[in-house]
């Protein structure tokens, strides 16, 4: 049994930490929904490259919508109605609609997506701007006589 936590006092008592409070709220909501469909993996493929892989058996490209906005990646799937009357002895493949959200870190962008054999792969790249990267500071040494004269 999961208990819901109220993070509203956190919103009232912090200034400039709205993003952290929002992340706590999002984590709390996703933990309480209990859904784990569709299954997914997040893989590091390089120093600043990532791939999110979702298992979407039975979905076609036109039934999947991927949107990225404000550090949030949303993948939605809406299965078209099957007009044929099919009879199953056992149905283990879930053809239900879904919405899966991923909170992206700062400077992570979606570079592409591909669907093959029921597997959706979304490529991500973390590009830190040059202004934000660490810089080497050159140390200039003074001549010992210059220090005495000051």
Beta bridge partners of 142: none
CA atoms within 13 A on the CB side of 104: 26
Predicted local distance difference test score (pLDDT) of residue 149: 58
Predicted local distance difference test score (pLDDT) of residue 96: 87
CATH architecture of 37-128: Sandwich (2.60)
Predicted local distance difference test score (pLDDT) of residue 5: 59
> Mind listing the pLDDT tens digit of every residue in the chain (150 residues)?
455 656 566 555 545 555 666 666 666 565 555 568 899 999 999 989 999 999 999 899 999 999 999 889 999 999 877 666 778 899 888 788 999 999 998 889 999 999 999 999 999 999 888 887 788 888 888 776 656 655
Predicted local distance difference test score (pLDDT) of residue 39: 93
Predicted local distance difference test score (pLDDT) of residue 16: 53
Residue ranges per domain, the chain?
1-34, 37-128
Contacts of 68 by beta carbon, 8 Å cutoff, 6+ apart: 74, 104, 109, 110
Write b or e for each residue in 75-107: b if 16 or more Cβ atoms lie within 10 A of its Cβ, otherwise e: bebebeeeeeeeeeeeeeeeeeebebebebeee
Predicted local distance difference test score (pLDDT) of residue 58: 87
- 10 burial (CB, 10 Å; 0-12 / 13-18 / 19+) is middle
């Amino acid at each position: 049994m999961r208990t819901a936590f109220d993070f509203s006092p956190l919103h009232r008592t912090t200034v400039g930490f709205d993003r952290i409070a929002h992340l706590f709220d999002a984590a709390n909501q996703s933990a309480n929904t209990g859904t784990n469909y569709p299954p997914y993996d997040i893989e590091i493929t390089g120093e600043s490259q990532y791939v999110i892989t979702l298992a979407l058996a039975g979905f076609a490209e036109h039934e999947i919508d991927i949107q990225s906005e404000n550090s949030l990646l949303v993948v939605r799937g809406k299965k078209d109605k099957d007009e044929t009357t099919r009879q199953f002895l056992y149905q283990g493949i879930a053809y239900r609609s879904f919405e899966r959200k991923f909170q992206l870190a700062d400077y992570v962008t979606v570079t592409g997506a591909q669907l093959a054999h029921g597997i959706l792969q979304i490529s991500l790249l973390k590009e830190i701007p040059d202004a934000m990267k660490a810089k080497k500071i050159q140390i200039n040494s003074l001549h010992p006589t210059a220090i005495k004269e000051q």
